[in-house]
Chains A and B, each alone.
With several copies, the nearest count.
Chain A
Amino acid sequence: MHAAAEVADHTGLELDKNRLLALYREMLLIRRTEEQLARSYQKGDIPGACHTYVGQEAVAVGVCARLRRDDVVFSTHRGHGHALAKGVPPREVMAELFGRATGCSRGRGGSMHLFSPEVGLMGTTGIVGPNILQATGAGYSFRLLKNARVSVGFFGDGAVNNGAFHEGLNLAAIWDLPVLYVCENNLYATEVAFGAATRNTDVAERARGYGMAGVAVDGNDVLAVAAAAEEAVRRARAGDGPTLLECRTYRTRPHAEGMRDGGYRTPAEVDDWKRRDPIAALRARLLGSGTADEEEFAAVDAEITAIVADALRFATDSPYPDPATATAHIYSDG
């Protein structure tokens, strides 16, 4: 266990109690929302695919804690956590997966297509790769517009062997774009182990090959993630170019709801990672350092439970979109 002082040192930030509790709160919000989505999926209330973020919460929360509202995020098929961390209201995430008109994509998107440009969530994608390039492009816009905004692309280990990674990172590097590339290395792409997809499983190290900064952190340590993100964001805002941040983490649920979770990884491995749960770890740390006490955590837990229950109610009570709108908004004039 770290002492409070150590925590501050570790991040290089002034993380006061409120901020530390906010990180905990955000992670818990994601966890509880995902658990509810999983239950709703099992009940048949959510159609289509549903990839949860359980186990990886520290990454989205740690990174987004260092972003401004007008910074932008481009995310993946596993994007609920990024959406929530960037500030999409839980009601809108829940309603979207329920296919309701009140969802953040008005029911057009579902789990893999969350859009909330109002808070800088520029979309999640069902295709592996494109968000890396789009994040690069947002960086290009910000550069051209001479504002100090920053763009973040989240992606999995499954994306790093794809051409989009190679092309996108190289472009950002040669033009010093204000982009933060966050690889959530959770060791598997669906059921394919990262080690079977490449001989170079050190993602952060690849940054050097592009001439950009590269950092690897424990993706289950929200403070480590936040510290690395802080540095990368500072670099980007200062015009000093992009960063590749590898967060080593694990998803503790199956690839998608309804899928098996055996055959490709052992129960022991899963259990091992469950013991490194990022939320429990932060809680223990803050308790251990005396930063917060059980009562305070209980209050946060209750608050989150209420928020998720409210989101569920909101989603359930919301109307479906009007079928007559099925072809609206294909073009800007319609």
Chain B
Amino acid sequence: MRELSFTVAAREGLAEEMARDETVFVVGEGIGERGGNFNTTVGLYELYGPERLRDTPIVERGFVGMCTGAAMTGTRPVVDFMFLDFILDAMGELINQTAKIQYMSSGRLTMPIVLRGCIGIGGASATHHSGNYYPIFAHLPGFRVALPSTPRDAKGLLKTAIRSDDPVLFLEHKSLLNTKGPVPDADADELIPFGRAAVRRAGGDVTVVALCLMVNRTLEAAADLAHDGIAVEVIDPRTVAPLDVDTILESVRKTGRLLIVDEDFAPAGIGAEISAQVTERAFDELDAPIRRLNGLQTPVPYSPPLEAALVPTRERIAAAIRDLVAE
């Protein structure tokens, strides 16, 4: 298979869908001729012009509301927020309108809209450019949330997102953008389904569910621990709404131990939800308390040593796994 970077793979997915369906269009700041702050649309303006690659003023609420109306009337907008942080000015539109209109119209209207943005802590991006925010969209009804960790998933999940008639958040961790990985040929037209977790590494001693960038770090930690004879099973949910708890349960039934690793804040986060569901459904099969390893619950500071203190690292993940196995 070809090796592509995360960004190139996702862009290929977008390009394929834009070629396939001329009702797909992209809006955002600098996504036209400039090709996107994160190169999400490089080369597409030349093919499709300003109506389908629509540079906007700085009006996140405005263009989200606009795209909501567009999605109700026969087109398929992809909103490119650049940094996901900028989505917050549009929360009223998203929560009360975008996510509810299918329901309120009893399914007579659909809402084929993709909301994409870069997330994550790193690179001294500081507090206005480091947000994650996905638990909010998993908590509320009406959204789908994709959190790809590989180039192949980035492409396949984005294609699924664009073809979906539901509002989908497609979130790309900034630290993943330049990572490379195998991606099927363009003509494979691979769609990665929502709600299907991937077992990234098999192991019988302990189950670790890791989200997004944390998948890579956990795989590194698992490799380290293999030297010590600890067999870690690493599960990547790939979407957190819907959330594939069955695959997690299957693993936990085998290992009896579960750790959830998430860069985002712990309280009322995805790890809490996974923990609660596993406790509800596999209580008797647990040999130890479910553990969570999260980023610290704080605004993200700028200074590199402060920033580094926030996020689970390979070493901290390994230590948490070791501790759990020892319980």
Contacts and interface: CB of A to CB of B under 8 A. Distances in A.
Interface of A: 47-49, 72, 74, 99-101, 103, 105-113, 115, 117-118, 122-123, 125-130, 132-145, 151, 158-159, 161-164, 167-168, 170-171, 174-175, 189-192, 196-198, 263-264, 320-333
A325 B51 CA distance: 39
Contact of A108 (B25, B65, B106, B141): B106
Nearest to B125: A48
B107 A109 contact: no
B56 A171 contact: yes
13 contacts: A108-B301, A108-B302, A125-B96, A133-B68, A134-B65, A137-B70, A138-B73, A159-B58, A167-B57, A198-B57, A326-B310, A327-B296, A329-B102
A144 B22 CA distance: 9
A105 B105 contact: yes
B65 A331 contact: no
Given A108-B104, A136-B69, A138-B73, 10 more contacts: A99-B304, A105-B105, A117-B108, A125-B128, A134-B72, A141-B73, A144-B70, A167-B62, A190-B29, A191-B30
Nearest to A124: B104
Contact of A48 (B107, B124, B141): B124
Contacts of A327: 296-298
A211 B130 CA distance: 37
B102 A99 contact: no
A262 to B, nearest CB: 11
In which size bucket is the chain B interface?
Answer: 35 or more
B301 A122 contact: no
Interface in B291-316: 296-299, 301-306, 308-310
B302 A191 contact: no
Contacts of A320: 303-306
Contacts of A47: 123-124, 302, 304
B61 A163 contact: yes
A105 B104 contact: yes
B165 interface: yes
A142 B306 contact: no
B229 to A, nearest CB: 32
Contacts, number: 272
Contacts of A162: 57-59
Given A140-B70, A191-B30, A330 B123 contact: no
Contacts of A143: 51
Contact of A123 (B58, B66, B101, B308): B101
A315 B276 CA distance: 44
A196 B108 contact: no
B60 to A, nearest CB: 8
B59 A171 contact: yes
Nearest to B106: A106
B157 interface: no
A127 B96 contact: yes
A167 B59 contact: yes
B103 interface: yes
B243 to A, nearest CB: 14
Contacts of A189: 29, 57-58
B29 A329 contact: no
Nearest to A114: B104
Contacts of A135: 69
